[in-house]
Amino acid sequence: MSEFLPSAEDMLSGPDAHGFFGPYGGTFVPETVVPALRELEEAFETAKADTGFAAELGVLLRDYTGRPTPLYRADRLARAAGLGAVFLKREDLNHTGAHKINNTLGQCLLAKRMGKGRVIAETGAGQHGVATATAAALMGLECAVFMGVEDIRRQSLNVYRMRLLGSEVVPVDEGSGTLADAVTAALRHWVERVNDTFYAIGSAIGPHPYPAIVREFQSVIGTETIAQLAEKGERADAVVACVGGGSNAIGMFHPFLRDVPASERPLLLGAEAAGLGLDSGKHGASIAKGEPGVTHGFYSYLLQDEAGNPVEAYSISAGLDYPGVGPEHAYLHDEGLVRYEAVTDAEALAAFEQLCVTEGIIPAIESAHALALLPRLAEELGPSGRVVVNVSGRGDKDIDIVREAGLGA
Ligand SMILES: *Cc1c(COP(=O)(O)O)cnc(C)c1O
């Protein structure tokens, strides 16, 4: 093979030297940010090669976050869904209630190593903000979280949590006052304060090297799952995760793509938010309905209008209403290495209720989108089908929303 053509394996472990996964990803940022991204990339590569860094993070993941999270065999759910076995990867049992802490502990540790005394983050519903505020408090870092004014209004409890944890919440009064505006504001602020400030991004998005960094810190999910299946003497036909920006999904999928030969690899299935329906114009399904474009420093599938302007995403779950998707998912989709399907609000609510009453587990509505693919998989795989679902978070934060939707009435 020509030395200029990366092998398929290299692409699986990509991105390439310029931060591209196939045509997606890259570094579409103002010149002024480029040196900061280079510095970050170097620090990340050094940390990755340093067993001391891995050991320090490993202790935090074990003793602070509570890893490994269990791989729980949910038999009543499997029976109700018409499948042979369902295994739930319990990311909801992490400290702070979701997978986001895996990433913020890693990034804040990296910030400390780089000598930055201050971290900033963007947040939509407040979940990444709380996870960043948590890691910053733990490590004695100053922390400011950018949040749209509309989200501040809707998510007052998480705003209060961040303040309790010692962080500043910076209101963003631009655009629609939601997540995409908060990312833009955080990136802009980072340019001005890059000397002492580390930007801890919340999903597998943003300019290179962020998608690779977030994937690295979230890959503990898939690595543990593979080991836990082996310990149980089990195999899976399919592995499902929900896709907002794509961090919990890439954390689950990447180790399967990297470490499991294609002939033995389960079907990898991502669940996007179809909101009120794919034809309603109110959804977050960037892969099903988006077109390639640039946003927030990277090139990927993006929800946009006919003129190519980004449009707002909608989902009942705040964590899935990002109008883009991480560049690696765009690549995995095009290559047919991962299949993506869209799940409506109504389907997610039904799956949410089903997990509550069959297993006594209240999932995040984001995670319920992944659970909603179980009936479809039962049809495809038959009654002996064996499926792993990543339960990315717990549902305490969503209680008001599901009550309003009429569940449990
Ligand atoms: C934020 C969030 C998501 C969506 O983000 P990804 O980066 O796609 O993982 C999913 N589930 C939960 C519980 C979240 O908090």
What per-residue confidence (pLDDT) applies to 200?
A: 98
Find, among 363, 388, 328, the residue nearest to 15 by Cα.
Answer: 328
Are 345 and 255 in the same domain?
A: yes
Domain that holds residue 92: 68-97+218-404
> Is the C-alpha dihedral spanning 380, 219, 348, 316 positive or negative?
negative
Half-sphere exposure of 71 (CA within 13 A, CB side): 25
- Is the Cβ–Cβ distance between 61 and 102 less than 8 Å? yes
Whose alpha carbon is nearest atom 3 of ligand 1? 319
- Choose, from 91, 122, 272, 328, the residue flagged as catalytic: 122
Sheet holding 197-199, edge to edge: 168-172, 142-148, 118-123, 197-199
Last residue within a domain, chosen from 157, 184, 214? 214
Write down the mean pLDDT value for the chain.
95
Are 167 and 30 in the same domain?
A: yes
Are 227 and 110 in the same domain?
A: no
Against a cut of 0.75, is the pTM above it? yes
pLDDT band at 4 (very low <50, low <70, confident <90, very high): very low
Closest atom of ligand 1 relative to the 367 alpha carbon = 11
| Mean pLDDT, rounded, for 5-25 | 77
Sheet holding 238-242, edge to edge: 71-73, 85-90, 386-391, 238-242, 267-275, 339-344
Q: Is the CB of 203 inside a 6 Å radius of any atom of ligand 1?
A: yes
In a domain, 1, yes or no: no
Distance from Cα 156 to the centre of ligand 1, integer Å: 19
Element (H, E) at 11: helix 8-12
pLDDT in tens, 77-93: 999 999 999 999 999 99
pLDDT band at 6 (very low <50, low <70, confident <90, very high): very low
Q: Judging by beta carbons within 10 Å of its beta carbon (0-12, 13-18, 19+), is residue 267 exposed, middle or buried?
A: middle
For 377, residues 6+ apart whose C-beta sits below 8 A from its C-beta are 81, 83, 237, 238, 240, 269, 385, 387
CB atoms within 10 A of CB 234: 14
Report d(CA 272, CA 127) in Å as an integer.
18
In a domain, 6, yes or no: no
What per-residue confidence (pLDDT) applies to 239?
A: 99
| DSSP per-residue string spanning 377-404 | HHHHH-TT-EEEEEE-BBSGGGHHHHHH
In a domain, 409, yes or no: no
What per-residue confidence (pLDDT) applies to 176?
A: 86
| Mean pLDDT, rounded, for 27-53 | 94
Instruction: Examine the pLDDT at 14 and tell me if it is beyond 90.
Output: no
Are 365 and 346 in the same domain?
A: yes
In a domain, 396, yes or no: yes
pLDDT band at 11 (very low <50, low <70, confident <90, very high): low
| Mean pLDDT, rounded, for 365-372 | 98
For 178, residues 6+ apart whose C-beta sits below 8 A from its C-beta are 124, 148, 150, 151, 312, 321
Task: For residue 387, list its beta bridge partners.
Answer: 86, 238
Amino acid at 64: Y
Instruction: Examine the pLDDT at 2 and tell me if it is beyond 70.
Output: no
Distances in whole angstroms, Cα of residue 165 to Cα of each of 133, 197, 295: 6, 19, 31
- Choose, from 219, 359, 392, 397, the residue flagged as catalytic: 392
In a domain, 12, yes or no: no
In a domain, 298, yes or no: yes
Distance from Cα 244 to the centre of ligand 1, integer Å: 6
In a domain, 387, yes or no: yes
Distance from Cα 227 to the centre of ligand 1, integer Å: 23
The total number of structural domains in the chain stands at 2
Find, among 117, 122, 155, 114, the residue nearest to 136 by Cα.
Answer: 117
In a domain, 9, yes or no: no
Are 303 and 397 in the same domain?
A: yes
Three-point CA angle 209, 210, 214, nearest 5°: 125
Are 318 and 345 in the same domain?
A: yes
Are 36 and 112 in the same domain?
A: yes
Find, among 77, 86, 133, the residue nearest to 105 by Cα.
Answer: 133
Last residue within a domain, chosen from 214, 248, 278? 214
Report d(CA 125, CA 107) in Å as an integer.
20
Task: For residue 329, list its beta bridge partners.
Answer: none
Are 252 and 295 in the same domain?
A: yes
Structure tokens at 225: 């799952």
Distance from Cα 248 to the centre of ligand 1, integer Å: 6
| Mean pLDDT, rounded, for 127-137 | 98
For ligand 1, pick from 220, 366, 369, 371 the residue to mutate: most ligand atoms within 8 Å of CB: 366
* CATH number of the domain that residue 142 is part of: 3.40.50.1100
| Mean pLDDT, rounded, for 126-137 | 97
pLDDT band at 13 (very low <50, low <70, confident <90, very high): low
> Is the C-alpha dihedral spanning 197, 202, 208, 213 positive or negative?
positive
What per-residue confidence (pLDDT) applies to 1?
A: 31
Residue 122 known to be catalytic: yes
Are 207 and 223 in the same domain?
A: no
What per-residue confidence (pLDDT) applies to 7?
A: 46
pLDDT band at 309 (very low <50, low <70, confident <90, very high): confident
Label residue 143 left, alpha or beta by phi (over 0 means left) and psi (-120 to 50 means alpha). beta
Last residue within a domain, chosen from 158, 191, 214? 214
Structure tokens at 363: 């999932």
**Is beta strand 85-90 parallel, antiparallel or unpaired with respect to 386-391?**
parallel
Provide the H-helix boundaries in 69-174: 75-81, 100-113, 127-139, 149-154, 156-164
Are 37 and 107 in the same domain?
A: yes
Residue 100 known to be catalytic: yes
Are 369 and 260 in the same domain?
A: yes
Report d(CA 331, CA 337) in Å as an integer.
9
Question: Which is more confidently placed, 373 or 322?
Answer: 373
Are 56 and 76 in the same domain?
A: no
